[in-house]
A and B are shown apart, each in its own frame.
Chain A
Amino acid sequence: MPSARQTGADNGLRWSNWNLLLLVPLLMLVTSWFNADGPRVLGLPFFYWYQFAFVPVGVLCVGVVFVMTRDEPVEAGDDLLDVDDLDVAEKTSTEKTGTEKTGTGKTGTQRGAAQKKAVQKKVAQKKVAQKKSAQRKAGGKN
């Protein structure tokens, strides 16, 4: 019974166009552009100083992506797990141990998973709110 989650249809990817900057450093793999001796800088052949120059380029690209995607929605802050959720989790947990065939043999993780599912509903609500605020902040990033 593959649900949307199991088929990977909803894999929770959060994309920002700034991420495309991460592809820029890969340009240094095109060796034919720089496999030359001249012009030399400080005695270093072009081949060497060109590649050294890519170190700051790489830092800059990753740094810009880091700063510009800083406001990406993450699960943080407020306690989403209140007492009611715990009770729901407890109930689903008992149902699950009986029916679901997980084959893990770890009751701890099963309980954790069940508890998590119960919380997810809450998280989903929260996510919508977060998304809205993120969109306001980033000016239609998504």
Chain B
Amino acid sequence: MQWTELVVFTVLFLVVTVLGFVAAKWKAGDTLEHLDEWGLGGRKFGSWITWFLVGGDLYTAYTFVAVPALVFGAGALGFYALPYTVVLYPIVFLPLVRMWSVSRVHGYVTPADFVRGRYGSHWLALIVAVTGIVATMPYIALQLVGLEAVLRTMGLNGGGVLGHLPLFIAFLILALYTYQSGLRAPALIAFVKDSLIYLVIIVAVIYLPSKFGGWGAIFDTAQAKFDATESKADGVLLTANNQLQYATLALGSALALFLYPHSLTGILASRGRKVIKRNMVALPAYSLLLGLLAMLGFVAISAGSKPITNQATGRPDTNTIVPVLFGQEFPAWFAGVAFAAIGIGALVPAAIMSIAAANLWTRNIYKEYVKKSATPAEEAKQAKLASLVVKFGAVAFIVFVDPQFSIDLQLIGGVMILQTLPAVAIALYTRWFHVWGLVAGWVAGMGWGMYLLYTIPNPAANKAHFGGSALTLDKLSLLGWHPFAGSPTQIYVGAVAVVANLLVAVLVTLVARRAGVFNGTDQTSAADYHVDEDSPRVRAIATH
């Protein structure tokens, strides 16, 4: 047991707990019993709050432990996180302000709300909502993996179900203040989380390399280690076969990120178009941080860090590599700060994700199918309860199911959420796609994507299926036909699936248009996509 670390961690954890409960009163509106307030913090966050909130939301604890872990294990391929978060903002810059405006005029809370309004189809909205919930759930579970990696590094590494007790307590507290304060809790905590993360990473990146002879020596050591392994795919540079995988994974992840309901929650909570645009310029500061953090994976190789064996599963957990590195190289008190940064880093996204999933459930399933007459107050109540269910579902997932399963599911989740691209992102610009074309495209992209993921083995982990997202083109199979037989080049499955999705959507759209099938009613108008905060056309908050 590492007492100093544990004390520092606990103190910081208690500070954010207090913040979480106090947040209910922070910038409070007239009522918390409305999704605009509980689920979107009153839709009035300014540039700074949004920067901390969205930054804390997108750059999760899991990212902070998993990306360096991937670099530690595979080298250059793990660095895809940097191009991913650099190309992200130019891509989403224009669509996001359109989404904000149309949502502000019509009071949309979720991406599925927008689809419902745009196409007047509750089926298409249901598809988008269910995809969002299913893709978000394992993501929440993964935040627990990040938190647990830290707890186990500090010596709270018990076996069996009891070994998960610290995790359970941490999440119970989180669940309570999210229930009470809604989105205001993670927004306020994000200030602490992000400040700590910046502090820790900057210190780590300045201090650690000098201990191991500078970056030059660190990269040489890493290359020597990768040369010694059997695998041909690792190294400090990309190989001939994984370059396409690197680029498509970065691009596909960038396209997918703002389709995740929790990312959009942060955007919809902001006050106006300028706030979003400013943030698209300022958020890459986090990307820089993530890139620096990724390189700590190489530092861990030089430091000879060994991943801790998870007592609950009996296997070494590479996600502990950065916590182990910090524990090894930093003085105990600063290691405590670093652990708290990662641990609190898990709470912010977990809270936002559970709120986003709860909003989807309430708006697009409960209100649509269970109780059409639900009042705003009943919606808020339902969402609060759903956020509890979602969080405890995630804990149960980690405790009773192998954590590896949630990692696989998150991988699948990325491919899944990408399939809502035509219905959510493209629909922001045009209604050319027919509603049934979008449904058919989703089915095709989803089905084929899942099948392809199923066919990918991972010999290193001794798995025959769902072994990763890198598909060898040789294995790309369309109903038994192999169009690229013999090619060893790898590609991201999501990219393949979304192309199939678009093709099918185009074909079915053409057929449906020819046949004159009814294409739903559009509740939105062209001008809605350009409305700004001071327009009289925006909806009053928390009244409808």
Contacts and interface: CB of A to CB of B under 8 A. Distances in A.
Interface in B505-530: 519, 521-523, 525-530
Contacts of B535: 74-77
A76 B376 CA distance: 27
Contacts of A12: 525-527, 529-530
B288 interface: yes
A77 B93 contact: no
A35 B91 contact: no
Interface string B74-101: 0010010011001101110110000001
B280 interface: yes
Nearest to A51: B82
B238 A31 contact: yes
Nearest to B219: A45
B343 to A, nearest CB: 27
Contacts of B544: 108
B525 A116 contact: yes
A55 B431 contact: no
Given A8-B430, A13-B429, A43-B218, A54 B530 contact: no
A61 B529 contact: no
Given A66-B280, A80-B536, A61 B90 contact: yes
B251 A25 contact: no
B521 A74 contact: no
A63 B89 CA distance: 11
A130 to B, nearest CB: 10
A6 to B, nearest CB: 6
Contacts of A124: 527
A15 to B, nearest CB: 10
A49 to B, nearest CB: 10
Contacts, number: 174
Contacts of B87: 25-26, 28-29, 58
Nearest to A13: B429
Contacts of A72: 530
Given A5-B526, A31-B238, A74-B530, A102 B291 contact: no
A80 B430 CA distance: 26
- The CB with the most chain B CB atoms within 10 A, among A11, A19, A79, is that of A11
Interface in A1-42: 2, 5-8, 10-14, 19, 22-26, 28-32, 35-37, 40, 42
28 contacts: A5-B525, A10-B526, A12-B525, A13-B429, A14-B530, A23-B90, A26-B90, A26-B91, A37-B237, A42-B215, A43-B209, A43-B219, A45-B237, A48-B295, A55-B82, A55-B287, A58-B90, A62-B90, A66-B278, A74-B273, A74-B531, A74-B532, A75-B527, A77-B534, A81-B537, A102-B120, A104-B523, A116-B537
9 A-B pairs with the lowest CB-CB distances in the bound complex, closest first:
A12-B526, A43-B216, A43-B215, A22-B90, A8-B431, A31-B243, A29-B247, A74-B532, A76-B532
Given A6-B522, A11-B430, A58-B86, 17 more contacts: A10-B526, A12-B526, A22-B90, A22-B94, A24-B90, A28-B86, A29-B87, A29-B251, A31-B246, A35-B243, A42-B215, A45-B236, A62-B93, A62-B281, A66-B93, A76-B532, A104-B523
